[in-house]
Amino acid sequence: MIAFIKGTLAHKGLDSAIVEANGVGYALGMSSTALATLPEVGQETTVFTHIQASDAGVALYGFATQEEKDMFEQLISVSSVGPKMALAALSTFAPAALSSAIMATDVDAISRIPGIGKKKASRIVLELQGTLAKAAEGGTAAAGGVLAQVTEDLLAMGFTSAEADLALKGAPESAAEAELLQYALKRLGQ
């Protein structure tokens, strides 16, 4: 599978771009949002990709971020939502905003996407709400696991649980274990 393409932007259109890498021009279908993030023609760029094989042939789709690619793959997993409709959704909403609309069961917002009516918006909510909720819980559980590990590390160093809790209060949620430990030790040293 082609995870990303790094090369020179050869062409930028309304709904696609061509990136030349090692003498090969890769045509990529893209959302208008992703196209807006691309540099000027002739400059270096990196585009995350998804390859889709169907009866009509093989198509390559490009994304500015991994988050956008992940949302695209979630959308095309919904029955009756194809790549063009998924790109229209990503042209209308940022991935986080679309995820929030789905989680909030905001069918009216989702039906503002070109080509998606209330019935299809309801299907998207129905099929993706559980998947997105599990992904959100996984992120929270992972952050909680890192905090628990750093707390254990501080206890092993001889600090009390009250000191460990105080040291980790207000810690950045997305930090790695080493960063959290450094944060806690700095707070304890003050």
Q: What is the pLDDT of residue 155?
A: 74
Instruction: Specify the pTM.
Output: 0.70
Average pLDDT of the chain to the nearest whole number: 87
Query: CA angle at residue 92 from 97 to 36, to 5 degrees?
Result: 105
Q: Which has the minimum average pLDDT: 90-94, 110-114, 142-146, 173-177?
A: 142-146
**Intra-chain end-to-end CA distance of the chain, in Å:** 50
Q: Are 159 and 167 in contact (CB under 8 A)?
A: yes
Query: How do residues 38-90 score in pLDDT, each as one tens digit?
Result: 999 999 999 999 999 888 899 999 999 999 999 999 999 998 899 999 999 99
Q: Mean pLDDT across the stretch 102-113?
A: 92
